Chain A
Amino acid sequence: MERSTYDLWVGLFVVAGLVALLALAFKAGNLGASSIGSSYVVKANFDDVGGLKVRAPVKASGVVVGRVTSIRFDPVRYQAQVTMKIGDAYRFPRDTTASILTSGLLGDQYVGLDAGGDSVMLKNGDTIHLTQSAIVIEKLIGQFLFNKASGGGKSPSSSTAKAGGL
């Protein structure tokens, strides 16, 4: 076979391989999703982060606006400090609430932001003070059993399940 023929097929092969890699990175991976452009950093302290992980999404009204960049334990406050990167396009008031929520009953946890009414916006490096910790299922079940035992006919778990969006 001619050398140019080899060159052609090998070129095609290499292009196919690189396209596969790029497709994996953008279509299957989070390379496309994580590029939120320029961003600013916000911190929040939680009593309990539950199963929240680094790179978990930060959502407002269900739309991804940022990512969790680090989670560490603050030994002074005895609280977990979560650092997030939020896209520059999204601005939130200072009295915004951050809660750790779960997508589905067994889904992954993410940080949900509920905008407040303050006219001053969060800046780079600011801390969100209004936070709601993750719901820990053992606590939930304990509460449910307690309610049952105290004779309450209404089950709180059904409403939680609905709220969880299952």
Chain B
Amino acid sequence: MMVDQFVAQIRRLGHGVIDAVMRLGFAARFFMALILASGTGLRRFSLVVREIYFAGFMSLIIISVSGLFVGMVLGLQGYNTLQRFGSESALGVLVALSLLRELGPVVAALLFASRAGTAMTAEIGLMKSTEQLVAMDMMAVNPLARVIAPKFWAGVLSMPLLAAIFSAVGIFGGYLIGVRFIGVDAGTFWSQMQAQVSVRTDILYGVYKSFVFGVVVTAIALFEGFDAPATAEGVSRATTRTVVISSLAILVLDFVLTAFMLGGN
């Protein structure tokens, strides 16, 4: 009896692994097909523009408000910590580097996953469950090229811009708290920042990171929607999975990318 149960457990594990590998394979094929189908979408750029409106522009408010508050918290916390060492003058550096290197790309990507990613998953999932994608395919229009690829490129293009806006607003928030509210000297705040922040290794690396996050989050969101079972429950689960998987992917990838960038420096 014990042996039977043990074997059943092992079998379940094996089943889970096989399922996961198959899904991964399916996801990889989906991604390849998506890239191959991108030609049409990019040639008709108005399709991408429309999706940038939904993915990028509509995320502006949440991104800038969050950026402002994250920057303000950084200002408060940073000042509090730095003044113990008498280095308040480094507040600008601390705020800028935290935002540009980490918080900007990462938090913006997390917000993007939950704001735009879930919307993409739900939309694709619903289009699938109401047979809209099949109908399009029957009309000899490839849904991958017409619906999914434009969303993908919109996400990829929006993400770095959103992260840059997040960081810029965040630095402004840190400035508001540090300089206007606490009274750190404005000259020191900016000049220390400018002396320490490098365009190549700090700002551009942040942009690279957010570009990678844009690719990953959008691809996950679209795949989950495309792969969702055609039921209300299936779509809602897929939406949840989008948030969970893309958040994990962002954080793990952030570590990997950071390790590479610092290592290569």
**Contact A18 B161, beta carbon cutoff 8 Å:** yes
Give me the interface of A with B, judged by CB distance under 8 Å.
Answer: 3, 6-7, 9-10, 12-14, 16-21, 23-25, 27-33, 55, 57, 104-108
Q: Which of B86, B89, B195 has the largest number of chain A CB atoms within 10 A?
A: B195
For residue B26, which residues in chain A have a CB less than 8 angstroms away from its CB?
none
Interface of chain B, main secondary structure: helix
**Contact B89 A104, beta carbon cutoff 8 Å:** yes
Q: Verify if B197 is at the interface (C-beta below 8 Å from A).
A: yes
Q: Verify if B245 is at the interface (C-beta below 8 Å from A).
A: no
Interface of chain A, main secondary structure: helix
Among A13, A14, A30, contact of B198 (Cβ-Cβ < 8 Å): A30
Contact with A along B155-178 (1 / 0, CB 8 A): 000101110110111010000000
* 3 nearest A-B residue pairs (beta carbon): A17-B161, A20-B168, A20-B164
For chain B, the count of residues having a C-beta within 8 Å of the partner chain is 35
**Contact A16 B194, beta carbon cutoff 8 Å:** no
Contact with A along B42-59 (1 / 0, CB 8 A): 000010011011001100
Q: Verify if B193 is at the interface (C-beta below 8 Å from A).
A: yes
Q: Give complex CA distance A9, B167 in Å.
A: 21
Q: List 11 A-B contacts (CB under 8 A).
A: A6-B49, A9-B57, A10-B52, A17-B161, A17-B162, A17-B164, A17-B165, A18-B164, A21-B164, A25-B203, A30-B194
